Amino acid sequence: MSKILQPLETEVFPSVRNRTVMSAMTRGFADADHNATPAIVEYYRRRAAGNVGLILTEGVVIHPSADGYNSVPHIATEAQAESWRPVVEAVHEAGAKIACQLWHCGRISHADYTGGQPPVSSTDRAAEGINRQNDKPYGTPHRLTVDEMPVVYDYFVEAAQRALAVGFDAVQLHLGHGYLADQFLDARVNDREDAYGGSVENRCRFALETVERVLAAVPAERVIARISPSRFMGGLYDWPDMDEMLDYLIPRLWSLGLRVLDVSCANADYFQTSGRVIRKIRPMWPGVIMGGASLTQEQAEAELEAGLLDLVTWGRSFIANPDLADRIASGADWVPFDNAMRDTLV
Ligand SMILES: Cc1cc2nc3c(=O)[nH]c(=O)nc-3n(C[C@H](O)[C@H](O)[C@H](O)COP(=O)(O)O)c2cc1C
């Protein structure tokens, strides 16, 4: 049998019925109180019914100060967490697993989204460019002080606890794509001169402390961390000192007890970006690695067979094909993704 269709059974993560993963994708269809809606339940139910192994939800904002997008869900209150319970139940009923992606945008935001307060970041320099969410320049961030960081860690911890309490199989800490943790990891953004900036060790500190605090509060087999050392988001690039960063960061994530990594490259060619990162870190990571980006079935199979990936993520193909895993099993053609598909939640 094709490796993609084989279950993943491991002590370090909930069992998954096959190796297909729906990647985290923001859709912007939450209600005015940032809750999941019945339409969101149906959207995820359809992917689970199509036989996907694991669903990573769209980014779910951990606190009002962490937002940066229009109409995205939050998990800052019990009520917001409860709005996800029917999603989780529908997905479980159809035999799939589901993890909640926990999101802090940092400076990829504007006071319009953070209750009038400036967004927070590693730096006080605004991101370049215009925020397409409100057609304004990105907000000038408040540089987090060392005293303020534990408050942010607590937002992650409490959001993780709320997610697991409503039945999510796992949480995914979003440490990539230029959002808050990546604003510390990335030397192009992080201009600090304290213990959280400068050296590789210092730039990794915020992400490592976030992971450490979450792992102290919830079981390690319920935690995934998404990193994107090489990616396309407003430009194709690697962390400037990527090899040195990975040599430091990856073994430390392991020693903290993390066992599941999602190596993402956002909107990039996998082999130019994540594929390279995964070839570097696989020898350092005996745990689970998921990754992908528009891989063909043959490419996915080859990455799994080579032991580089344990699970394969697809994003846009899951928007276009709710039944992607069934199509993989039957050999049916895949519907190509079209940008117009972003406009509706089907
Ligand atoms: C509409 C859309 C929304 C996305 N939102 C998120 C998100 O909320 N969190 C995240 O980590 N990645 C997000 N991504 C990136 C995807 O998870 C994935 O890494 C990327 O689409 C590459 O995979 P693909 O080529 O298979 O689509 C988004 C991508 C798309 C297309």
pLDDT of residue 232: 84
The domain that holds 194 is classified in CATH as 3.20.20.70
Record the pTM: 0.98
Residue 232 · residue 271 · CB < 8 Å: no
Measured from the CB, is residue 57 less than 6 Å from ligand 1? no
Atom 20, ligand 1: residue with shortest CA distance: 266
Q: Please give the DSSP secondary-structure letter assigned to residue 60.
A: E
Candidates 230, 234, 235, 227; CA nearest to 206 is: 227
At residue 221 the predicted structure's pLDDT band, cuts being 50, 70 and 90, is: very high
State the average pLDDT for the chain.
97
The residue-averaged pLDDT of 246-263 equals 98
Quote the domain boundaries for residue 310: 3-343
The residue-averaged pLDDT of 151-159 equals 98
The yes-or-no answer on residue 179 being catalytic is yes
Per the structure, the count of domains in the chain is 1
Atom of ligand 1 nearest to the CA of 264: 19
**Residue burial 286-297, b: 16+ Cβ < 10 Å; e: rest:** ebbbbbbbbbee
The residue-averaged pLDDT of 224-230 equals 98
Residue 87 · residue 345 · CB < 8 Å: no
CA atoms within 13 A of residue 232's CA, in its CB half-sphere? 9
Rounded-to-10 torsion of CA 309, 310, 314, 318: 160
Please determine, for residue 233, whether its predicted confidence score (pLDDT) is greater than 80.
no
- Angle between the N-to-C axes of helices 242-256 and 274-281, in degrees from 0 to 180, rounded to the nearest 10: 60
Q: How far is the CA of 168 from the centre of ligand 1 (A)?
A: 20
Please determine, for residue 235, whether its predicted confidence score (pLDDT) is greater than 80.
no
pLDDT of residue 28: 98
pLDDT in tens, 58-110: 999 999 999 999 999 999 999 999 999 999 999 999 999 999 999 999 999 99
The residue-averaged pLDDT of 7-20 equals 98
Atom 3, ligand 1: residue with shortest CA distance: 25
